[in-house]
């Protein structure tokens, strides 16, 4: 590992002295207006050195190097308590909290929502009209294929090009404020080391990620306000989920869509994992060895913690093509009430973001309602 040149870091650290005390909130007003995190802002001032392949030459980013020159330890022997951090780098406390929450949102692949969305885009306003694809005109494509025996129209022979209908939603998609209120008294946590508090913040992040996965599931159940609920592909015996029902759902996706994700409540997860097809020793061995839930069709399955009263029963499964089904629009990135944290008023501080999911292509989501 290369030696770290801290000259620029020390220079930036001196500049950041202006954010001590009453000036701390100015740092967050600036970054909020610029719509960037404090970590990104510090990185812009003190860029991490990269090698010829564009990879960091050392493990520490700008904020971590800043802590190094300030002689602040976040882990191991001699780690700072919450009170010590608040005394020495109070201007970084909100960002340190957010970094742990972000880490928690990505800590478990089982509940991660990021691999279930096609794209996350910024939205300058709290309402927007996204583009979407209502119909790929697959029936007309098939009819031309039957006539020409070709997958592509040939304009030189007088054929038509396949049509992709792109529409702009007329109804507003309203971006919502979602988050968690942290009820932690500063007097209670002040003497604990950072790692004690950090694991609790990661738990907050994990819960936020699980909530967002639930929102994607609900999108398949109720639609997004313009597009309705996903098509139900179930045609089996009510109350019984069979392997053939999963196969049918897979085959109901018209090309180019494929079933690549399965979002399922606990009852359906248990039923799927108990199917005879999962008694194959290789499939069972992978599940027992890693805990990863796989399916015979190669789709990644994720368990949904359905909230009683707000979603259907445990016998409703949502499947999707993660490449084309869901878009996330973000009006305000993950944030914490910085002024409360800086002033050590942790009670009722809210960690939140303004984001909303919408459907990109109708044909990229399906349901299995096996009640």
Check: CB of residue 74 under 8 Å from CB of residue 95: no
Task: Say how many residues make up the chain.
Answer: 371
| DSSP-based three-state secondary structure for 314 | coil
Give the Å distances, CA to CA, from 18 to 14, 88, 161: 8, 13, 62
Q: How deeply is 288 buried, as exposed, middle or buried, from its count of CB atoms within 10 A (0-12, 13-18, 19+)?
A: exposed
Using the Cα atoms of residue 298, residue 303, residue 309 and residue 315 in order, give the sign of their dihedral.
positive
CB-based burial, 238-261: b 16+ in 10 Å, e otherwise: eeebbeebbebbbebbeeebbbbb
| Tokens standing for residue 121 | 């885009």
Cβ–Cβ under 8 Å, residues 218 and 178: no
**pLDDT of amino acid 115:** 94
Smallest CA-to-CA distance from 332 within 129, 120, 122 is with 122
221/282 Cα distance (integer angstroms): 33
CB atoms within 10 A of CB 97: 21
DSSP state of 124: S
Residues 102, 205: contact at Cβ < 8 Å? Answer: yes
Reported pTM: 0.85
User: What pLDDT was estimated at residue 289?
Assistant: 63
pLDDT of residue 242: 95
Split the chain (371 residues) into runs of 10 and give each run's mean pLDDT: 84 95 93 94 96 90 97 96 97 97 86 92 87 65 50 56 72 85 91 96 93 94 90 95 94 93 92 82 60 72 71 84 96 94 92 94 94 86
Give me the pLDDT at residue 349, please: 92
- DSSP letter string, 142-208: HHHHHHH--SS--GGGTPPPP----EE-SS-EEPEEEEEEE---HHHHTTSBHHHHHHHHHHHHHHH
Give me the domains of the chain, ranges plus CATH numbers: 7-105+172-212+335-355 (no CATH), 131-168 (no CATH), 213-330+358-369 (3.30.2320)
* 356 DSSP β-pair partners: 329
Contact 295, 333 (CB under 8 A): no
> Under a CB-based contact definition with an 8 Å cutoff, are residues 316 and 371 in contact?
yes
pLDDT score at 277: 81
At residue 288, the pLDDT reads 60
């Amino acid at each position: 590992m290369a030696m770290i040149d801290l000259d620029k870091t020390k220079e930036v650290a001196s500049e950041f002295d202006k954010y001590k005390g009453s000036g701390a909130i100015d740092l967050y007003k600036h970054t909020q207006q610029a719509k960037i995190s404090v970590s990104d802002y510090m990185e812009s001032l003190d860029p991490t050195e990269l090698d010829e392949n564009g990879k960091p030459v050392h493990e520490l980013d700008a904020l971590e190097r800043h802590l190094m020159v300030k002689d602040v330890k976040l882990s191991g022997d001699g780690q700072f308590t919450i009170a010590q951090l608040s005394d020495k780098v109070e201007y970084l406390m909100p960002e340190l909290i957010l970094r742990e929450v972000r880490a928690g949102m990505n800590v478990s692949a089982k509940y991660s929502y990021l691999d279930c969305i096609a794209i996350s885009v910024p939205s300058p306003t709290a309402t927007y009209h996204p583009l979407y694809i209502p119909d790929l005109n697959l029936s007309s494509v098939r009819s031309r294929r039957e006539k020409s025996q070709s997958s592509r129209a040939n304009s030189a022979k007088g054929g038509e090009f396949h049509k992709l209908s792109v529409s702009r939603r007329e109804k507003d998609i309203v971006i919502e404020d979602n988050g968690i209120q942290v009820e932690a008294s500063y007097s209670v946590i002040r003497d604990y080391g950072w790692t004690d508090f950090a694991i609790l913040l990661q738990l907050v992040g994990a819960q936020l990620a699980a909530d967002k996965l639930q929102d994607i599931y609900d999108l398949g159940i109720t639609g997004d306000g313009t597009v309705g609920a996903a098509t139900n592909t179930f045609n089996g015996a009510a109350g019984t989920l069979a392997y053939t029902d999963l196969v049918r759902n897979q085959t109901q996706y018209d090309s180019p869509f494929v079933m690549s994700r399965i979002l399922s409540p606990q009852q359906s997860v248990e039923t799927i994992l108990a199917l005879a097809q999962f008694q194959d020793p290789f499939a069972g061995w992978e599940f027992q060895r890693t805990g990863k839930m796989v399916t015979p069709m190669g789709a990644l399955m994720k368990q949904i913690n359905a909230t009683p009263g707000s979603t259907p029963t445990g016998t409703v499964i949502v499947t999707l093509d993660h490449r084309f089904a869901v878009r996330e629009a973000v009006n305000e990135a993950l944030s914490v009430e910085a002024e409360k944290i800086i002033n050590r008023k942790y009670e009722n501080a809210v960690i939140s973001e303004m984001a909303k999911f919408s459907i990109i292509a109708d044909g990229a989501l399906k349901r299995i309602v096996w009640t």
